[in-house]
Amino acid sequence: KLDLGDPPIVKIDTPDQAREFVRKLAEQKPDLVKIWYIVDKDHPVDSFRPIVRATVEESHAHKIRVAVHATELETARAAVEEGADVLVHSVIDKPIDDAFVKLLKDRHVILCPTLVVFERYGRTFSHQLNLTPEEQKWGNPEVIASLDVTKIPQDKLPQRVKDALADPKAALDRINKTYDVALPNLKKLEDAGVTIAAGTDAGNIGTIHGPALFREFQLMKEAGLTQMQILQCATANAAKLFGGETGAHIGNIENGYFADLVILNSNPLEDIAHASDIDAVIKNGVVYPADSILH
């Protein structure tokens, strides 16, 4: 039975509903509450601010941090002004301004840019999926096979997929326009000292759990981040995003931290691509050779 009466996404229509939902959720002691801050011409940014505010206030009252899905500059700005602790995804509609950068720094907000997810929808729908060698080798083969949209009967395809298949160049153009905004925005935030945590939004169409992280590293490098900065995003900064007891004991190699390590054959400070050249993983004191877990 898949439906356990605990849906991952709940539609909230009023601030009171938001507060009641968070109170019930708090009984399960979650690490984070995530808000989908989705806007359109009929539902502008300010129309949802009372719900965002209520969710954040009630979550913080229960010592729960809040992550907000926000891909527009004004949505992201509003989320942080209302108290968001984490911004999920990148601003992709326009270049960020200095006031936004200062806001994130002053509020100690963590950004998880999930760059890879932006290309994978369009590439999957237009039959141009660019899985890396790591994804092809280590990804779930059944999941990968399911991404071939040409195997789906035409009458079952959504119009969005039909359009992408009919004009694959337009699909790539949209992806490139997204990165023309998202990559410089990430570099500006990193240069300003905003905490960036590496993540992929895996589970979305075309974004493979696990090895998609290496594609994320490639895109962060294209944005202009150094190898060391990318490693920090994936380790110490990711631990800050986890927070709590877990985050307090991971992400660094020093006394008092868990000895959970990834041992590499090549130096990622020379090239971040070496991050996937894995020799072994140490977890809870047990050494797992790569060939025993990565196949």
Q: Per residue, what are the HEC states of 115-137?
A: HHHHHHHHHHHCCCCCCCHHHHH
Quote the pLDDT of residue 289. Answer: 96
Quote the pLDDT of residue 6. Answer: 77
Please report, for residues 129, 154, 168, 173, the alpha-carbon distance to residue 162 in angstroms, rounded to integers and kept in the order given: 15, 8, 10, 16
12-46: per-residue pLDDT in tens? Answer: 999 999 999 999 999 999 999 999 999 999 999 99
pTM, to two decimals: 0.94
Quote the pLDDT of residue 81. Answer: 98
Rounded CA separation 119/173 (Å): 10
Percent of the chain with pLDDT over 70: 98
pLDDT for 2 beyond 70: no
Report CA torsion sign: 269, 275, 280, 283: positive
235-259: per-residue pLDDT in tens? Answer: 999 999 988 777 889 999 999 899 8
Quote the pLDDT of residue 294. Answer: 64
pLDDT for 221 beyond 80: yes
Can you tell me the mean pLDDT for 186-204? 98
How sure is the predictor about 229, in pLDDT bands with cuts at 50, 70 and 90?
very high
Quote the pLDDT of residue 109. Answer: 98
